[in-house]
Amino acid sequence: EPEVTQTPSHQVTQMGQEVILRCVPISNHLYFYWYRQILGQKVEFLVSFYNNEISEKSEIFDDQFSVERPDGSNFTLKIRSTKLEDSAMYFCASSGHGLITDTQYFGPGTRLTVL
Amino acid sequence: SQQGEEDPQALSIQEGENATMNCSYKTSINNLQWYRQNSGRGLVHLILIRSNEREKHSGRLRVTLDTSKKSSSLLITASRAADTASYFCATSLSGTYKYIFGTGTRLKVLA
């Protein structure tokens, strides 16, 4: 069964450093998403991406964050200058067919630790 | 209450019993999804129910949706120890692409 994959599974970085989290969505999906979950808290929406542009973003997704689909398979989340409070599990998700009602399938997540 | 608020927050049952979790939301939705998350792991999709549907089944799972009450329930029948996890509802609001997750119900099934 097709699945969303994410790399790395765990990323440790120093405060102020840039990180890039990578995702490979399900191959025929059209919509891509990033969410994050701070330890012990609820999953929070960051951004949705369709047709090579951001469809929607939350207030969390400020100028320090960017997303890119550099080729036909990868979808990346970049944090330019990490802060301690960026430590969280970051989940990529994808959905197909372009309908809002479609199921979002999540990857296993990347645990980001900012020291 | 927040959009996507589950209750109870924690539930402990014996293997073989049924587990019921509820989700309430505030605004109109396109659909509602239920996810399972094992400790520190990813989110596994369980069921999507659309706003024009009232009930869906998948194996031992039964989901209901009452749009008049803005609530949904997830029933797991004949629970197993492997069902131990956190369960989240996520709502897709009308006119947006994002899903808003609830705070989750931590289910513990005792063998």
Q: Where are the domains of chain B?
A: 5-110
Closest to B80 in 3D by CA, of B61, B65, B104, B103: B61
The upper half-sphere exposure of residue A69, i.e. CA atoms within 13 Å in the direction of its Cβ, equals 20
**DSSP reduced 3-state for B82:** helix
Per CB-CB distance under 8 Å, the chain A contacts of B91 are: none
Whether residue A103 and residue B45 make contact (CB cut-off 8 A), yes or no, is yes
What's residue B1's pLDDT? 43
Per CB-CB distance under 8 Å, the chain A contacts of B45 are: 103-106
Number of domains in chain A: 1
Range of the structural domain that residue A33 is part of: 5-96
Q: How many other CB atoms sit within 10 Å of the CB of residue B32?
A: 27
Longest dimension (CA), chain A: 40
Whether residue A45 and residue B98 make contact (CB cut-off 8 A), yes or no, is yes
Q: Is residue A113 part of a domain?
A: no
CB interface of A with B, residues 62-91, below 8 Å:
89, 91
A77: domain CATH number? 2.60.40.10
What's residue B21's pLDDT? 95
What's residue B30's pLDDT? 86
CB environment A61-73: b (16+ within 10 A), e (fewer): beeebebebeeee
pLDDT band for position B36 (cuts 50, 70, 90): very high
State how far the Cα of A109 lies from the Cα of A89, in Å rounded to an integer. 6
Q: Is residue A62 part of a domain?
A: yes
Looking at 3.60.20.40, 2.30.30.40, 2.60.40.10, 1.10.1060.10, the CATH number of the domain B5-110 comes to 2.60.40.10
pLDDT band for position B3 (cuts 50, 70, 90): low
CA A45 to chain centroid, in Å, comes to 9
Q: Is residue A114 part of a domain?
A: no
Cis before residue A2, ω within 30 degrees of 0?
A: no
* Strand intervals (E) in chain B: 5-7, 10-14, 19-24, 29-37, 43-50, 55-58, 61-66, 71-76, 85-93, 99-101, 105-110
Over range A21-34, report the average pLDDT. 93
